[in-house]
């Protein structure tokens, strides 16, 4: 389902207010039927939240830029004592990722099953490899690949290596039609 305004969203995905705060989003966002958005959540234009993904801004805000996708089974949350979660534009968050009270800059790619702990920061155009554990407070510079448990520097990214978000904008358009 493609949502152009808040009135259509509640027909499909679970959109829930919490303590007087309600999710908000821009134009042409897609939320799968069993995606969940709760509380102080703000998404930009052309974002997508896929099957069984949860974006829960109950004790601090979550902000997400334009054209960012949160894939199946992922959980984005916040921490009362640590603070908000900020996710930039053109970010790909792979399947079954946990993002908790941290910052992900524009164009980053978070691989399947990765975990990002409180107060870590993922630089612009960086990649967190599948299954990686980014420890609390870790700062990943722009355009680097990190992986492992705990995550460590592997190498620099190649030009265009993180240009995946546009695919999900197109996938969302196709799902909207079905």
Show the CA angle centred on residue 127, arms to residues 123 and 133, nearest 5°. 95
pLDDT for position 2: 41
Rounded Cα distance, 36 and 15, in Å: 6
Bridging pattern class, strands 152-156 and 144-147:
antiparallel
| CB-based contact 35:47 (threshold 8 Å) | no
Give per-residue pLDDT as tens, 60-113: 999 999 999 999 999 999 998 778 999 999 999 999 999 999 999 999 999 999
Whether pLDDT at 52 is above 60: yes
Most confident by average pLDDT, 17-21, 162-166, 171-175:
17-21
pLDDT for position 12: 81
Whether pLDDT at 6 is above 60: no
Rounded Cα distance, 76 and 96, in Å: 10
% helix, strand, coil for the chain, step of 5: 10, 40, 50
Can you tell me whether residue 8 is helix, strand or coil?
helix
Higher per-residue pLDDT: 7 or 127? 127
pLDDT for position 11: 53
Choosing among 3.40.1210.10, 1.20.140.10, 3.60.110.10, 2.160.10.10, the CATH entry for 2-177 is: 2.160.10.10
Q: What kind and span of H or E run contains 165? A: helix 165-177
Share of the chain above pLDDT 90, in %: 84
* Mean pLDDT, rounded, for 124-152: 98
* Mean pLDDT, rounded, for 2-14: 56
pLDDT for position 82: 75
Q: Where are the domains positioned within the chain?
A: 2-177
| Beta bridge partner(s), residue 135 | none
| CB-based contact 39:21 (threshold 8 Å) | yes
Whether pLDDT at 147 is above 70: yes
pLDDT for position 60: 96
């Amino acid at each position: 389902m493609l949502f152009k305004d808040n009135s259509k969203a509640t027909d499909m995905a679970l959109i829930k207010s919490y303590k007087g705060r309600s999710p908000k989003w821009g134009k042409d966002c897609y939320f799968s039927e069993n995606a969940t958005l709760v509380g102080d959540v703000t998404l930009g234009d052309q974002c997508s939240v896929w099957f069984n993904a949860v974006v829960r801004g109950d004790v601090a805000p979550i902000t997400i830029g334009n054209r960012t996708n949160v894939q199946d089974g992922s959980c984005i949350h916040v921490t009362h004592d640590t603070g908000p979660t900020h996710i930039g534009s053109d970010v790909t968050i792979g399947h079954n990722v946990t993002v908790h009270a941290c910052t992900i800059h524009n164009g980053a790619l978070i691989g399947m099953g990765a975990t990002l702990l409180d107060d870590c920061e993922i630089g612009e155009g960086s990649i967190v490899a599948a299954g990686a554990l980014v420890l609390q407070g870790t700062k990943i510079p722009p355009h680097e690949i990190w992986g492992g448990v705990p995550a460590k520097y592997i190498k620099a990214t190649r030009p265009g290596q993180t240009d995946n978000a546009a695919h999900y904008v197109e996938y969302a358009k196709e799902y909207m039609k079905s």
